[in-house]
Amino acid sequence: MRKPARETLLEQERFELRPRSGGGVLRYEVLGYLESGRTVVTRYNLAYINHAIYQGDNGRVLGFDNAHGYHHRHWMGEVQAIEFMSYEATLERFQCEWLEIVNQFRGRKA
């Protein structure tokens, strides 16, 4: 009988963005395991936090995660289920969306 893979922390990063870059914090947390030479992501939490843009939900302007048994997107306090293709596709969507938000709000006074 094959032993189940053990989940480990694959990535945990926090980036503080300079005000001229839009300000706020990017946070990445990814858990999973290696199987046959490839990475399998089991849990993830991606967040863009900026209290100057949104004060609710602890400042989380945008986020993607798979907590509570389903894949979903956070947008300024609203939660919406999303169709999950892959972690990589979700990461790319997150990066595109937070860049769009930063470009939209850059230079505005809160």
Q: Is residue 93 part of a domain?
A: yes
| Residue 6 binned pLDDT confidence (cut-offs 50, 70, 90) | confident
- pLDDT over 90 at 1, yes or no: no
Per the CB < 8 A criterion, the answer to whether 71 and 79 are in contact is no
Q: Is residue 46 part of a domain?
A: yes
Specify the higher pLDDT residue, 76 or 3: 76
**What is the number of domains present in the chain?**
1
pLDDT of residue 107: 55
- CA dist., res. 17 & res. 65, Å (int): 21
Per the CB < 8 A criterion, the answer to whether 28 and 13 are in contact is yes
User: Could you list the residue range(s) of the whole structural domain that residue 16 is in?
Assistant: 8-103
User: 53-97, pLDDT tens digit by residue?
Assistant: 999 999 999 999 999 999 999 999 999 999 999 999 999 999 999
Query: Model-level pTM?
Result: 0.87
Q: Is residue 71 part of a domain?
A: yes
Q: Is residue 110 part of a domain?
A: no
- CA dist., res. 49 & res. 62, Å (int): 7
